[in-house]
Amino acid sequence: MTIEDFTPERVADRLAIQDLMGRWSRAVEFSSHLIANMVIEFATTKSALAETYVFTTQRYRLGTADKIPVSGVMPDFARDSRIDSFAHARYVDRFEKRDGVWKIAKRTSVFDWIHLLEVESGRFLLKPEWNPGRRDRDDPLFAERRAMGLDRVDDPGRV
């Protein structure tokens, strides 16, 4: 999803969220969002309501438990541990069709539950031959992109 998917009055909201997420992501060494089960109800020919399920998994770096966005009292995790966060949420989106294009006019993120799991240091680490994922250009995806010539800087549509 990009800024272009939002109506003009929602772009400022989206930019604020991106700024917050940019600062938050420094605490996260892995993040994945699985989008599933979307239900769309058309109110009119130019407005619709959608509910979309979201399942998230994040691994927080050592010493970043205070960055986990939860309310209440955090469990007492060991300082030398990573923390895995599993959460289920839903996007409740109001779509509007403007100039023939459907865009999000309003998004409400609804969080149903979160589960935190302490991962002891040195345990459950992937073997190097399994090609563990990375959050930088040393990730195996970028090696394949380079091998296929997909990393050209002269192409603005490419990384």
Residues 140 and 82 in one domain: no
Q: Which of 121, 96, 95 is nearest to 39 (CA)?
A: 95
Residues 29 and 97 in one domain: yes
CA distance 151 to 144: 9
Tell me how many domains the chain contains: 2
What pLDDT digit, counting tens, does each position of 69-94 carry?
Answer: 777 777 777 767 788 999 999 999 99
Residues 24 and 39 in one domain: yes
pLDDT bracket for residue 158 (50, 70, 90): very low
CA distance 83 to 137: 24
Residues 11 and 54 in one domain: yes
Q: Does residue 31 have a pLDDT over 50?
A: yes
What pLDDT digit, counting tens, does each position of 89-99 carry?
Answer: 999 999 999 99
Distances in whole angstroms, Cα of residue 28 to Cα of each of 41, 64, 82, 142, 151: 35, 8, 10, 20, 25
Model-level pTM greater than 0.75? no
Residues 114 and 130 in one domain: no
**Could you tell me the CATH number of the domain that includes residue 43?**
3.10.450.50
Residues 77 and 105 in one domain: yes
Tokens of 143: 């090696």
Residue 133 domain boundaries: 126-159
Question: In the chain, pLDDT over 70 holds for what percent of residues?
Answer: 75
